[in-house]
Amino acid sequence: MFQLSKLRKEREFNKEIGGIVNVLQGVASAEFYRLQKARQELDEFGDYLRDFLQMLDIAQLRHPFLETSSLPQGVLLVTSDAGFLGRLNVAIVDSALNQSFERDELIVVGRQGARYVEETRKNFTSFAGISDEVDYKEAERLAEFILKGFLEKKFGRTIVVYPHFLSFAVWEPRVYQLLPCRFLFREERKAPKPTGLAALEPEEKIILEPSINKIVDYLVRIWITYMLYGIFWESKLSEWSARVMHLEGSSFKIKQTDKKLHFEYFSLFHEISDKNIREIFASRLAVQRARRVAGRLGL
């Protein structure tokens, strides 16, 4: 009976946990769709910014943001502080470490990611994780740190490793180069024929003031902040979708466990019932035999 009572309590506990997991999964799904809807507003600005950058011919321009160097690399890792996302954080850290060398500067967004990097005994600079509201100021602060480090020659080529959102059920670690960013602009000797706004003739349609050097400097700063902000959104979408899928897996395991407990409970229940029935019948037979024997003996 003790074993039966124990199984009953395990079933009750399993159902309670299943209910909590289902609630968490519903919350994660709702947050995912809210973020997905809000993110769509970024796409139009990005298209205009890309077209504008392609209108500038920087073939003869020399600017720190456009030049390669032999300095150590700056590697930015975007990780998550949310629960149930150890697999995501480990994938980002492993991908970043595969892209980095001994002297590279590691910049980690998120406490959990910083904890994983700390275990490798590598030096790094850490930033707080992305807030649930994905504040633009967070991207501005990080962009300022990266641009300052690049201009002060603390590191050269700068890349960001983040969870790239593909679909509700799929994300992957992606590496994107932030600096140098000559690839953003039009170079007459290399670029294909531009389309859209970029098809305008710069020397006829655009007045550059005060200088193309300062314009490029300003636009690159906007681009870096915009890209980081977009990456933050993608990371959040990947984070919530991964969380939903993890909770879905947990829900499935809980259901399987409940089926197993259900089977064990009723198997044990029937076993105990059969045993009790057999004992009752055995007792009755024993009593009947005793009465028959007593009758024969005249007792």
Q: What is the pLDDT of residues 5-57, one digit of tens each?
A: 777 778 787 788 888 877 777 777 777 777 777 765 667 788 888 888 888 87
- Residue 189 pLDDT class (50, 70, 90 cuts): very low
Statement: the pTM of the whole predicted model exceeds 0.75: no
Q: How large is the angle between the packed helices 86-99 and 212-296, nearest 10 degrees?
A: 140
pLDDT at site 246 = 67
Task: For 257-266, give one letter per residue: b (16+ CB within 10 A) or e.
Answer: ebeebeeebe
Summarize pLDDT for 204-248 with one digit per residue, the tens.
556 666 788 888 899 999 999 999 999 998 888 888 777 777 677
pLDDT at site 191 = 47
- Amino acid identity of 186? R
List, in order, residues 6 or more apart from 193 with CB less than 8 Å away. 199
Whether residue 79 has pLDDT greater than 80? yes
Cα 289 to Cα 193: distance, rounded to the nearest angstrom: 107
Q: Could you tell me the two tokens for 127?
A: 């930033």
Three-state DSSP class for residue 211: coil
pLDDT at site 187 = 62
Upstream peptide bond of 192 is cis (omega within 30 degrees of 0):
no
Summarize pLDDT for 158-168 with one digit per residue, the tens.
999 999 888 77
pLDDT at site 205 = 55
How many beta carbons lie within 10 A of that of residue 148, not counting itself? Answer: 10
Upstream peptide bond of 180 is cis (omega within 30 degrees of 0):
yes
List, in order, residues 6 or more apart from 74 with CB less than 8 Å away. 104, 105, 107, 146, 149, 150, 154, 155, 156, 157, 158, 159, 179
Cα 40 to Cα 38: distance, rounded to the nearest angstrom: 6
Summarize pLDDT for 56-72 with one digit per residue, the tens.
878 788 889 999 999 99
Dmax of the chain from CA atoms?
A: 132
Query: What average pLDDT does this structure show over 258-283?
Result: 78
